[in-house]
Amino acid sequence: MKEKTCYHCGDEVIGKGIIFDQKSFCCNGCKSVYQLLKDTNLTNFYRMESNAGAKPTLSNQHKYAFLEVETIRDKFMDYKDEKSARVTLFLPQIHCSSCIYLLENLTKIEPTVLSCQVNFAKREVAIIFDPKKITLAKLALLLDRIGYAPNFGNRSATEKKIDKQFLYKLGIAGFAFGSIMLWSFPEYLGVKSDDPAIRNFTSYLSFAISIPVIFYSASEYFISAFKALRYKSLNLDVPITIGIIALYLQSTYSILIGDGPGYMDSFAGFIFFLLIGKWFQNKTYKTLSFERDYTSYFPVAVTRLVQFDKGEKEEIIEIEELKERDKIIIRNEEIIPCDSTLLSENTKIDYSFVTGESNPIHKQKGDFIYAGGKLLGQRIELKVEKESNRSHLTQLWNDIKTTKKKTSGFLYQNKLSIYFLSILLIIAAISAGVWVFIDLTRVTQIVVAILIVACPCALALSAPFTFGNVMRLLGRKGLYLKNTAVIEKLNTITDIVFDKTGTLTNGANQHIEFVGDNLTNPQFDALYCLANSSTHPLSRSIVQYLRSKKIVSNYPIHGFTEISGKGISGSINACAIRIGNAEFTNQKELDSNETSTFILIQNGENISKGRFVFTSELRDGIEDLMHKLSGYNLHVLSGDRDKDKVLLEQIFPKNSRLLFEQTPKNKLDYIDGLKKIGKHVLMVGDGLNDAGALGIADVGIAVSEDVFRFTPSSDAIIEATKLWQLDKLLLLSNFSQTVLKICLAFSLTYNLIGLSFAISGNLTPLIAAILMPISSITVVIISTFLVYFKK
């Protein structure tokens, strides 16, 4: 009987093995790698050499066995339930676009991985997987096998190690460059044939010292180019690698036939200056990093309970100030900012922002709750178990899947870079063919200079750095964007839709009066508890009003429900309470020209009714803002009655549409209707009843009061006190287009001038290697200067 061998690695298949695509595999790992190669049309890999795959060694199988220990494993988990788990891993090997492509297609290699998203700047991946089908240890082993071993140790130490390795490569290239130049000194003086023995000896010395340069110092370029070509793609390292190989092979050939050191000095200098440029670029990017910096402006705060002489009081703090064992309060629709333990009796948590699953998770007192979940129901108290930061929530915010059509600006930039690279290779080939007839000895030098000087690095950096700098500046001015793609959407806006309550009107400073039946102190206490579980602007105003009356309480709520656009209800101390509009509380509107929130308290046969009457105040600067936004089509969608219609008509342009008594569904349908007729819509709302409208608009901006709410459905958050500057913020966003055009013009001009010098033979590879990073750094400086000059 013929023994079966693994189609991938060639090992003997023990037992039945795994049959896939009518081929035998010894393990799921070999089958998965074959499946990836097949899915990406790379099965020629097996035609080159049968059984060419590599199988993990037995020692590797136990490399991550420590992750099987629950207490250790849980330290690395962002979230875990029966159906899915999320982990963020540091992969130091990530260094190019090919890495991103491979990792974000990890679901093809291992179907038990549900999603994988790469943060290139931080060299991190956020992976959601099925914990019943694959453990974290096996997931880490899978990443290790495809070349991206996770780092579970000291991250800073690993990054320092990577930096040291880079400096070693730079040092070896510099030493080789200096030594080869010294040995080639007679060549520079024209002394070539006086002593052939010495000349050959120094040439072979140059060849010997070039070996660590080609195989160590330049290795990253080879690896990056190989990965790109393996996936039938082009990246910036492909032309550089071709230039390195061409220059090195010609120089080696010259040495072996006894014709001197060739261009070995240029080769070593080329690598040396490439690495210097890379080091300088990395330092520049870290200094100007917008991706790291903007999270420090992201407005996320939390309510903490602190002890004082008469009991506990609430205070609002930024989440970085939270310490272990702190007690915090979370209200309905608020996001849990850090890993915590539930102190309240029970609750429901929506983890759709973390896992994509919309079914709420029920939690009991003492249960562990992961950061990123959204509370559904009455307010709860939590004990902080792990300190958190904005960056974690920002990542969740940015990872949320939406149905919005993605902008094509960055895609256009990427395609432009690919076309540029393709054209560059064609130009290099044509130039080589021409120079064969002009001067055969200079062909390699010309080709290498062309490939290097016209590198599209500056072209590729124009958009991300321009939009990144604008995003960082907008954050400093109070408008916090989800990502740089939002800027592209802002630049296409034709219509702006405003909510009224909590957006145009000031929720914090409005005057409130209670009208209705005489309520007892226990009834007011119950009202306070119910209102304090909601994040709606009017609920927050009621809480502030009751606090001014020295009413503060914390009773358990049974059956808490919040219906968007209608109100909240629950049972407290045997009292059934409703707070909301007239219909929700079974009452009639008494005055159409007032903004009221009605209350209904029922205790057995006793029923108490009343209403809180709000006197609206427009936010400062709103009237001037509407005049400055007259270039847009303006709309108001309010859930209130039209008592403020006359006031709004006075400040809005005449062609504006003002609609009142709009439900959340009405708002969503209205914006959807605008989009269907070709409008690009910006929605500005308070983030609660407007969540659907914010989500369906091309850009949704949530207005944030002093209590900074994390609003996942929005594309941006604006500080309420900065809303009057919205026109200036939009102008700054639009200015990014001008900056981008300037950067692109510079990049194209530089490349055309550089190409003309290289094609004519007036540029050496060494000078080209020096100019290449300078162009990229210049684009960064131009972008930064113009954006900050505009402010």
- Same structural domain for residues 500 and 639? yes
Which pLDDT value is given to residue 390? Answer: 65
- Same structural domain for residues 478 and 524? no
Q: Domain residues for 334?
A: 296-395
Q: Kindly state whether residue 612 falls inside one of the protein's structural domains.
A: yes
Whether pLDDT at 609 is above 70: yes
What CATH number has the domain bearing residue 696? Answer: 3.40.50.1000
The answer to whether 668 and 497 are in contact (CB under 8 A) is: no
Q: Which two tokens stand for residue 717?
A: 């958050």
pLDDT digits (tens, 9 = 90+) for 224-244: 777 667 656 666 677 778 778
- Residue corresponding to tokens 């930064």: 784
- Same structural domain for residues 626 and 487? yes
Q: Kindly state whether residue 775 falls inside one of the protein's structural domains.
A: no
The strand pairing partners of 341, in sequence order, are: 368, 383
The answer to whether 440 and 250 are in contact (CB under 8 A) is: no
pLDDT digits (tens, 9 = 90+) for 447-472: 878 877 776 666 666 777 788 788 88
The answer to whether 690 and 664 are in contact (CB under 8 A) is: yes
Q: 493 falls in which pLDDT band (50, 70, 90)?
A: very high
Sign of torsion over alpha carbons 611, 612, 616, 619: negative
DSSP H helical ranges for 491-606:
521-531, 537-548
Q: Which of 692, 696, 702, 736 is nearest to 722 (CA)?
A: 702
Q: Kindly state whether residue 320 falls inside one of the protein's structural domains.
A: yes
CA distance 93 to 181: 33
Sign of torsion over alpha carbons 777, 780, 786, 790: negative
CA distance 624 to 618: 12
What CATH number has the domain bearing residue 534? Answer: 3.40.1110.10
Whether pLDDT at 681 is above 90: yes
* Per-residue three-class SS string for 409-425: HHHHHHHHHHHHHHHHH
Q: 357 falls in which pLDDT band (50, 70, 90)?
A: low
251-258 contacts, C-beta under 8 A, 24 or more apart: 251/207, 251/210, 252/207, 254/203, 255/203, 255/204, 255/206, 255/207, 258/196, 258/200, 258/203
- Same structural domain for residues 479 and 628? yes
- Same structural domain for residues 324 and 232? no
Sign of torsion over alpha carbons 189, 192, 197, 200: positive
- Residue corresponding to tokens 């002593």: 195
pLDDT digits (tens, 9 = 90+) for 267-301: 888 788 778 767 766 665 555 454 444 455 566 77
Q: What is the mean pLDDT of residues 299-313?
A: 76
How many helical (H) and strand (E) elements, i.e. helices and strands, does the chain have? 28, 28
Mean pLDDT, rounded, of the chain = 78
- Same structural domain for residues 163 and 278? yes
E strand or H helix at 615, and its extent? strand 606-615
Which pLDDT value is given to residue 407? Answer: 45
Which pLDDT value is given to residue 481? Answer: 85
E strand or H helix at 255, and its extent? helix 237-256
Which of the listed residues 352, 380, 395 is the one where a domain comes to its end? 395
106: Cα separation from own chain's centroid: 18
Whether pLDDT at 370 is above 80: yes
The answer to whether 501 and 595 are in contact (CB under 8 A) is: yes
Q: What is the mean pLDDT of residues 728-735?
A: 90
What CATH number has the domain bearing residue 373? Answer: 2.70.150.10
pLDDT digits (tens, 9 = 90+) for 767-784: 776 777 677 778 778 888
- Same structural domain for residues 482 and 629? yes
Q: Which two tokens stand for residue 8?
A: 């991938």
If one counts every other C-beta atom within 10 angstroms of the C-beta of residue 408, the result is: 12
CA distance 28 to 17: 9
Which of the listed residues 395, 422, 452 is the one where a domain comes to its end? 395
Whether pLDDT at 686 is above 80: no
- Same structural domain for residues 251 and 208? yes
Least confident segment among 97-101, 164-168, 292-296, 737-741: 292-296
> Of the spans 124-128, 212-216, 768-772, which averages the highest pLDDT?
212-216
CA distance 532 to 169: 60
Q: Kindly state whether residue 696 falls inside one of the protein's structural domains.
A: yes
Q: Which of 706, 705, 658 is nearest to 685 (CA)?
A: 705
If one counts every other C-beta atom within 10 angstroms of the C-beta of residue 348, the result is: 17
- Residue corresponding to tokens 């007259």: 630
- Residue corresponding to tokens 């999320």: 86
Least confident segment among 196-210, 663-677, 758-772: 758-772
Q: Which amino acid is at 524?
A: F
If one counts every other C-beta atom within 10 angstroms of the C-beta of residue 315, the result is: 11
Domain count, the chain: 5
Q: Kindly state whether residue 603 falls inside one of the protein's structural domains.
A: yes
Which pLDDT value is given to residue 172? Answer: 92
Which pLDDT value is given to residue 411? Answer: 45
Q: Kindly state whether residue 459 falls inside one of the protein's structural domains.
A: no
Whether pLDDT at 670 is above 80: yes
Q: What is the mean pLDDT of residues 731-737?
A: 88
CA distance 519 to 524: 7
The answer to whether 450 and 769 are in contact (CB under 8 A) is: no
- Same structural domain for residues 239 and 301? no
Q: What is the mean pLDDT of residues 166-175?
A: 89
Residue 628 CA: distances (Å) to CA of 311, 650, 724: 49, 14, 10
Which of the listed residues 576, 593, 617 is the one where a domain comes to its end? 617
Which pLDDT value is given to residue 51? Answer: 44
The CA-based angle 650-651-653, given to 5 degrees, is 95
Greatest C-alpha distance within the chain: 118
Q: Which of 223, 92, 224 is nearest to 159 (CA)?
A: 92
pLDDT digits (tens, 9 = 90+) for 538-596: 888 888 888 888 888 878 888 888 887 788 999 988 889 999 888 888 888 766 566 78
CA distance 109 to 779: 38
656-664 contacts, C-beta under 8 A, 24 or more apart: 656/626, 659/635, 662/637, 662/638, 663/565, 663/639, 664/564, 664/565, 664/639, 664/689, 664/690, 664/691, 664/692, 664/693
- Residue corresponding to tokens 């001037």: 624
Residue 190 CA: distances (Å) to CA of 186, 193, 202: 6, 9, 15
Q: Kindly state whether residue 227 falls inside one of the protein's structural domains.
A: yes
Whether pLDDT at 39 is above 60: yes
- Same structural domain for residues 253 and 167? yes
- Same structural domain for residues 323 and 372? yes
- Same structural domain for residues 278 and 170? yes
**Paired sense of beta strands 633-637 and 495-498, if any:** parallel
Q: Kindly state whether residue 189 falls inside one of the protein's structural domains.
A: yes
72: Cα separation from own chain's centroid: 27
Q: Which two tokens stand for residue 544?
A: 């502030």
Which pLDDT value is given to residue 342? Answer: 92
Sign of torsion over alpha carbons 206, 212, 214, 218: negative
